[in-house]
Amino acid sequence: MSDTRLRLGVNIDHVATVRNARGGAYPDPLRAARLAEEAGADGITAHLREDRRHISDADIDGLMAMLTVPLNFEMAATEEMQRIALRHRPHAVCIVPEKREERTTEGGLDVAADRARLADFIAPLREAGCRVSVFIGADPAQVEAAADVGAAVVELHTGAYCDFHAEGRTAARDEELDRLRAMSAHALALGLEVHAGHGLTYDTVAPVAAIPELRELNIGHFLIGEAIFRGLTPAIAEMRRLMDAARG
């Protein structure tokens, strides 16, 4: 496998959202993770939110026990989540901002405003062997702060790009895409590995996947929704195909 291949991390949070709507055991996010692995996912992403609205602690236990691909454990920078991450030592930890009232992770983490605390927060996770990423907007101050606080990876937030696309605001979309391109190059030049994700769909993935500095995309909500219509395996296979085609 070439080391410039773009990895696909499949986020299974919203399988748990549907399960939790009825409070039972179905659909099982672990079964979705297994299928995603078989369909060619290079990693599984799961966000243990403070309010446990989708993924549960037991889901994380199960994923750690069964996955054959790396787990990207998304979490807020809280003491509770740090304890959980240090207990499990997942391959990757992605630090995201979290507000209880939000429907999803709405913006990037303000790393620049919280440098000292985040540096202290990240150090033990690094020492435990986790690759730590921070989920940030395409902003030079945030990229530089990510390098300063000891992150190994930045995940660039593609939500604004996808929202502009959905709203038909093509000039704003293209400007945001230019920022994503520029910040990918900037982050790589600072020694950071570059990932991206949030809100990506079949319609929006190609220009992002074509950014040469990117190493991984994390995609969830759209794939789980699309799985209703065509099944999870074909939904993932089509995303993989579009990513590979964009990569040329």
Return d(Cα 209, Cα 100) in angstroms, integer. 31
Nearer to ligand PXP, 187 or 248 (CB): 187
Is 157 part of the annotated catalytic residue set?
no
Q: Residue 50 phi/psi, 5° resolution? A: -60, -35
CB of 69 to ligand PXP, least distance (A): 16
One-letter amino acid of 110: D
CB of 224 to ligand PXP, least distance (A): 8
Nearer to ligand PXP, 225 or 248 (CB): 225
* Residue keyed to tokens 């579009």: 242
Nearer to ligand PXP, 192 or 248 (CB): 192
Return d(Cα 197, Cα 184) in angstroms, integer. 13
CB of 97 to ligand PXP, least distance (A): 9
Catalytic residue among 14, 37, 54, 74: 74
Site of interaction with ligand PXP (CB under 6 A): 11, 13, 47, 74, 94, 96, 104-105, 135, 155, 197-200, 218-222
Is 48:88 a contact under the CB 8 Å cutoff? Answer: no
DSSP strand pairing (131-136 vs 153-157): parallel
CB of 240 to ligand PXP, least distance (A): 15
CB of 214 to ligand PXP, least distance (A): 13
Tokens of 91: 């391959």
Q: What is 35-54 written as a DSSP string? A: HHHHTT-SEEEEE--TT-SS
Q: Classify each residue of 90-102 as buried b or exposed e, where b means 16 or more C-beta atoms within 10 Å of its C-beta.
A: bbbbbbbbbeeee
Return d(Cα 246, Cα 244) in angstroms, integer. 5
Nearer to ligand PXP, 30 or 220 (CB): 220
Is 167 part of the annotated catalytic residue set?
no
Is 47 part of the annotated catalytic residue set?
yes
Nearer to ligand PXP, 47 or 181 (CB): 47
Catalytic residues: 47, 74, 198
